[in-house]
């Protein structure tokens, strides 16, 4: 093959590669703009491909070409730029994640206090008790927890974020948690050190838990969704001590129902109250829905009040538009299986185990943001 034929062959390879991958995504940046024209487009992808096969294109900034940060410029970089151009990705692997915009953490009209993300607090904090929040999800560092149950997020300044169940937890670095991989992935906010069940740094009891949830597609179990558990023991769902599960759940379910569930031992449970929502349709996909779960003792610490609030319209604007959609009181008439435990099946969990968690079931991926847990002044 002569030089002209070899050149034409290389050009055909470049054209074919770009054509084949024009149906793929991109991230944002000066990275990728190899012709320095302040835009990232298919010309940049072509120039990187030409550089890779040795055609030495003009107006080529090699410092912007290694978009996957693997210390080489190759056809993968060209393909990633093409994906970015057609909108299949929104950030290059070599870039720092773009922070997720959040509301301003000030006060909202009416004087209500707000959490770290500017979301309205329905109940006041207990002074001196540390709020847990997911601000560290927005630190520009992507990481995944999977495999070994009990692994903790090394970037959580409290050290309380704990992976449980199975599947994966991916923190995007831009403020989101991606939870999925099938099975029953869970994130525990577990203030106990290691696997101990004594002397936690904070004991979550009367709490307001706030999070925004996005269902992706229509996968997931009917009883999955935005599922928040409170008053669980740190090992109650591991089989180590099933009688310390002691969990009250608030469930915004995929099948369109909302309910409260009680689990005294792992894993039988019962529902205290259930209602249809969304006009009887399934939980909407691909939109942010805010959920607050408030649980606190009443009647001189004899009974437990559960409340669920939803923000279905605002995506957190002005602190969120919160509607109480469900409430229920455990007054001793709510039974759940407790075989072999030291308490009856009508046991009221006025103390519990001090742990809060979020779980899901049989999802490929679901998304969460603006997650907070606060000890509140409510009830008595």
* Architecture (CATH level 2) of domain 3-86: Orthogonal Bundle (1.10)
pLDDT tens, residue by residue, 136-172: 999 999 999 999 889 999 999 999 999 999 999 999 9
374 contacts 208 by C-beta, under 8 angstroms: yes
Vertex 214, ends 208 and 218: CA angle to 5°? Answer: 130
Confidence check: pLDDT of 95 > 60:
yes
Q: Between the CA of residue 24 and those of 34, 69, 88, 122, 337, what are the distances in Å?
A: 19, 19, 5, 44, 51
The CA distance from 243 to 241, in Å, is 6
Where in the chain do CATH 1.10.1330.10 domains reside? Answer: 3-86
Tell me: pLDDT of 301 over 50: yes
Domain 132-375's class?
A: mainly beta
Confidence (pLDDT) at 293 = 98
Please name the residues in contact with 239: beta carbons below 8 A apart, sequence gap of 6 or more: 266
Residue 27 and residue 91 in contact, taking contact as beta carbons nearer than 8 Å: yes
Give the CA count within 13 Å in the CB-facing half-sphere of 261.
Answer: 21
Beta-bridged to residue 274, according to DSSP, are 259
Query: 163: closest CA among 180, 176, 150?
Result: 150
The model's pTM is 0.75
Q: How many CA atoms lie within 13 A of 240 on its CB side?
A: 10
Residue 103 has pLDDT above 80, yes or no: no
For residue 97, what is the DSSP state?
Answer: P
């Amino acid at each position: 093959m002569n030089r002209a034929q070899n050149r034409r062959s290389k050009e055909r390879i470049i054209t074919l590669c770009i054509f084949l991958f024009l149906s793929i995504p991109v991230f944002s940046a000066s990275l990728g703009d190899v012709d320095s024209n302040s835009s990232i487009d298919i010309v940049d992808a072509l120039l990187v491909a030409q550089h890779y096969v040795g055609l030495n294109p003009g107006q080529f900034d090699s410092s912007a070409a290694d978009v996957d940060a693997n210390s080489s410029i190759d056809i993968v970089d060209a393909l990633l730029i093409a994906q970015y151009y057609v909108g299949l990705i929104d950030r290059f692997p070599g870039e720092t994640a773009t922070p997720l915009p959040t509301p301003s953490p000030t006060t909202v009209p009416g004087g209500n206090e707000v959490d770290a993300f500017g979301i309205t607090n329905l109940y006041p904090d207990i002074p001196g008790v540390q709020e847990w929040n997911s601000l560290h999800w927005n630190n520009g560092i992507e990481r995944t927890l999977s495999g070994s149950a009990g692994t903790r997020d090394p970037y959580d300044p409290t050290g309380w974020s704990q992976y449980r169940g199975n599947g994966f937890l991916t923190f995007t670095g831009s403020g989101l948690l991606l939870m999925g991989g099938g099975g029953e992935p869970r994130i525990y906010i577990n203030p106990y050190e290691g696997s101990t069940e004594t002397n936690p740094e904070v004991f979550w009891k009367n709490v307001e838990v706030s999070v925004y949830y996005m269902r992706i597609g229509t996968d997931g179990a009917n009883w999955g969704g935005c599922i928040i558990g409170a008053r669980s023991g740190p090992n109650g769902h591991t089989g180590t001590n099933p009688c310390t599960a002691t969990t009250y759940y608030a469930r915004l379910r995929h099948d369109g129902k909302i309910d409260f569930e009680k689990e005294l031992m792992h894993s039988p449970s019962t529902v205290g109250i259930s209602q249809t929502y969304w006009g009887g349709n399934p939980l909407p996909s691909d939109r942010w829905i805010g959920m607050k779960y408030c649980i606190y003792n009443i009647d001189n610490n004899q009974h437990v009040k559960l409340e669920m609030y939803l923000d279905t319209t605002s995506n957190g604007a002005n602190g969120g538009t919160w509607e109480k959609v469900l409430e229920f009181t455990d007054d001793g008439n709510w039974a759940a299986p407790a075989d072999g435990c030291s308490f009856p099946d009508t046991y009221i969990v006025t103390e519990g185990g001090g742990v809060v968690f979020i779980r899901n079931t049989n999802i490929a991926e679901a998304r969460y943001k603006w997650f907070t847990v606060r000890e509140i002044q409510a009830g008595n």
